[in-house]
Amino acid sequence: RSKAKAEREASPADLPIDPNEPTYCLCSQVSYGEMIGCDNDECPIEWFHFSCVGLGHKPKGRWYCPRCRGESEKTMDKALEKSKRERACSR
């Protein structure tokens, strides 16, 4: 097996990681492959790997990560919506 082929086939966890490179997603790994951003401006994670959140393609419209959405995959958790509104009113 050639070194180049081994590097191409390596998973993100196998690749050398710059300790200063930011991590994302529920898996706390670096950016790789297709990623999607949570539409909650207050999301602490922001970016997610498609495979980690069960996506095969970019969904239409807004998308909220598992931590920010409530029962529905398309709505933000009511507590987060309320805190966001309260912060907006206190400005």
pLDDT digits (tens, 9 = 90+) for 65-79: 999 986 665 555 555
Residue 75: CATH number of its domain? 3.30.40.10
How far, in Å, CA of 69 to CA of 67, rounded? 6
- Domains in the chain, number: 1
- Domain containing 41 equals 3-89
Average pLDDT along the chain? 76
Beta-bridge partners for 36: 48
Model confidence, pTM: 0.61
Residue 15 reports pLDDT greater than 70: no
Please give the annotated binding residues for Zn(2+), written as ranges.
25, 27, 38, 43, 49, 52, 65, 68
Residue 7 reports pLDDT greater than 50: no
Please give the annotated binding residues, written as ranges.
25, 27, 38, 43, 49, 52, 65, 68
Task: Report which of residues 35 and 3 the model is more confident about.
Answer: 35
- The closest alpha carbon to 67, from 44, 34, 50, belongs to 44
